[in-house]
């Protein structure tokens, strides 16, 4: 009798009100405030991408999920935001993959100099299975990677001299992102590599603590580096992704519906951001010239010399991420549409 009663009770509990409650909770959208941080100015490709995300989330959730964006590093540099996400003190961010290498070593793969030759390749690999595999590694560290955005191909600016040949890097104090691969690459090229968070870069250039830096045209424009830099050299030495992330601690507490809304909005923001970045990038050189920058292009021969000189940095990427992952990425690049 007792056993029968227990069984009946258990069935009632499982199929009854509790089961209904659980399904309801999973479909629920609760009012939430999502703090979304990023490093560039509001008026930048990154800021505009963040805005698209916020609007899409508001639309899809009937205004229940509110994304509050914090630009210009106002929640701190990338590393500080990453830690806030891990601890659950901040919900979301977008930033460079390069500054994640200390947390998830596989991220070093994207710092490989001259890895991608065009943006199509980058999209194909980043949005494909290997890109996902590297992103999923973040979960062990308390971060959820959603999508990659385009930061873009990086180019050199400095105040010492135009970079026409490999030897021109010699002795120039170049700010690099806080990634061992970037440190290594610029050391190999003969520069004096100085790691600095992005939020300290403008001042670093202005006070001449560093002579130069490297970033995509879009960022040189939106961060007004032309005010404090004379020479711009088109080097395209590496393609840099941004990555949109959520705090895992927070993400795991969301309903499936909420997660789906955020994921769909993240993809829309990614697509819009890439289009925006590429359109702006096409016009940026002219604008930078108009702002007084002296621009030069590195020849194919000199690019080849730089590639060879950077080889030890590529070897250290292989040592860091492992040969299988490195080879997998190369294979994906081969498969990418031309």
The minimum distance between CB 259 and ligand TK8, in angstroms, equals 25
215 contacts ligand TK8 (rule: CB under 6 A): yes
Q: How many residues bind ligand TK8 (CB under 6 A)?
A: 11
The strand ranges marked E within the chain are 32-37, 65-70, 92-96, 143-153, 155-158, 173-176, 192-195, 212-215, 231-234, 239-247, 294-297
Written as six digits, the tokens of 129 are: 């299975």
240 contacts ligand TK8 (rule: CB under 6 A): yes
The minimum distance between CB 174 and ligand TK8, in angstroms, equals 11
- Nearer to ligand TK8 by Cβ, of 34 and 177: the residue is 177
212 contacts ligand TK8 (rule: CB under 6 A): no
Task: Characterize the bridge pairing of strands 231-234 and 294-297.
Answer: parallel
The minimum distance between CB 59 and ligand TK8, in angstroms, equals 26
Among residues 201, 173, 170, the alpha carbon closest in space to that of 96 is found at: 201
Q: What is the DSSP code string of 17-53?
A: HHHHHHHHHHH----EEEEEE-SS-SSSHHHHHHHHH
The minimum distance between CB 125 and ligand TK8, in angstroms, equals 19
Measured N-to-C along each axis, helices 17-27 and 2-15 cross at an angle, to the nearest 10 degrees, of: 20
247 contacts ligand TK8 (rule: CB under 6 A): no
The minimum distance between CB 94 and ligand TK8, in angstroms, equals 8
78 contacts ligand TK8 (rule: CB under 6 A): yes
40 contacts ligand TK8 (rule: CB under 6 A): yes
Q: Which of 219, 235, 236, 316 binds ligand TK8 (CB under 6 A)?
A: 219
Compute the distance between CA of residue 311 and CA of residue 32 in angstroms, rounded to an integer: 48
* Residues in 268-297 that interact with ligand TK8 by CB under 6 A: none
| Residue with the shortest CB distance to ligand TK8 | 39
* Residues in 181-210 that interact with ligand TK8 by CB under 6 A: 198
- Nearer to ligand TK8 by Cβ, of 40 and 265: the residue is 40
How many helices (H) and strands (E) the chain has is answered by 14, 11
Written as six digits, the tokens of 240 are: 């840099």
Q: Which of 37, 76, 95, 180 binds ligand TK8 (CB under 6 A)?
A: 95
Question: 104 phi and psi, to 5 degrees?
Answer: -130, 105
- Nearer to ligand TK8 by Cβ, of 242 and 251: the residue is 242
Sign (positive/negative) of CA torsion 244, 101, 216, 315?
Answer: negative
Written as six digits, the tokens of 120 are: 């199509």
- Entry field: residues in the chain: 338
Applying CB under 6 A, the residues found at the interface with ligand TK8 are 39-40, 78, 95-96, 151, 177, 198, 215, 219, 240
């Amino acid at each position: 009798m007792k056993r029968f009663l227990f069984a009946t009770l258990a069935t009632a509990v499982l199929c009854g009100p509790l089961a209904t409650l659980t399904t309801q909770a999973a479909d629920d959208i609760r009012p939430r405030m999502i703090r979304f941080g990023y490093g560039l100015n509001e008026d930048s490709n990154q800021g505009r991408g963040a805005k698209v995300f916020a609007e899409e989330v508001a639309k899809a959730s009937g205004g229940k999920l509110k994304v509050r964006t914090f630009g210009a590093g106002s929640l701190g540099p990338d590393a500080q935001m990453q830690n806030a996400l891990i601890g659950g003190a901040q919900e979301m961010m977008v930033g460079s993959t390069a500054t994640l290498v200390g947390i998830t070593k596989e991220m070093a793969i994207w710092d490989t100099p001259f890895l991608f030759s065009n943006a199509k390749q980058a999209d194909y690999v980043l949005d494909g299975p290997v890109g996902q595999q590297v992103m999923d590694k973040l979960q062990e560290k308390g971060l959820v990677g959603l999508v990659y955005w385009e930061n873009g191909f990086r180019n050199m600016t400095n105040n010492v001299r135009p970079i026409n040949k490999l030897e021109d890097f010699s002795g120039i104090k170049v700010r690099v992102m806080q990634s061992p691969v970037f440190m290594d690459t610029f050391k190999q090229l003969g520069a004096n590599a100085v790691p600095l968070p992005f939020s300290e870069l403008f001042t670093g250039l202005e006070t001449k603590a560093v002579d130069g830096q490297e970033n995509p045209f879009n960022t040189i424009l939106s961060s007004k580096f032309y005010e404090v830099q004379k020479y711009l050299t088109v080097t395209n030495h590496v393609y840099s992704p941004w990555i949109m992330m959520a705090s895992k601690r927070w993400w795991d507490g969301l309903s499936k519906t909420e997660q789906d809304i955020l994921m769909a909005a993240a993809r829309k923001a990614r697509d819009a951001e890439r289009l925006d970045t590429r359109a702006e990038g096409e016009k940026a050189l002219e604008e930078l010239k108009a702002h007084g920058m002296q621009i030069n292009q590195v020849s194919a021969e000199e690019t080849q010399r730089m590639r060879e000189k950077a080889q030890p940095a590529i070897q250290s990427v292989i040592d860091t991420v492992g040969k299988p992952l490195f080879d997998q990425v190369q294979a994906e690049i081969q498969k990418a549409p031309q």
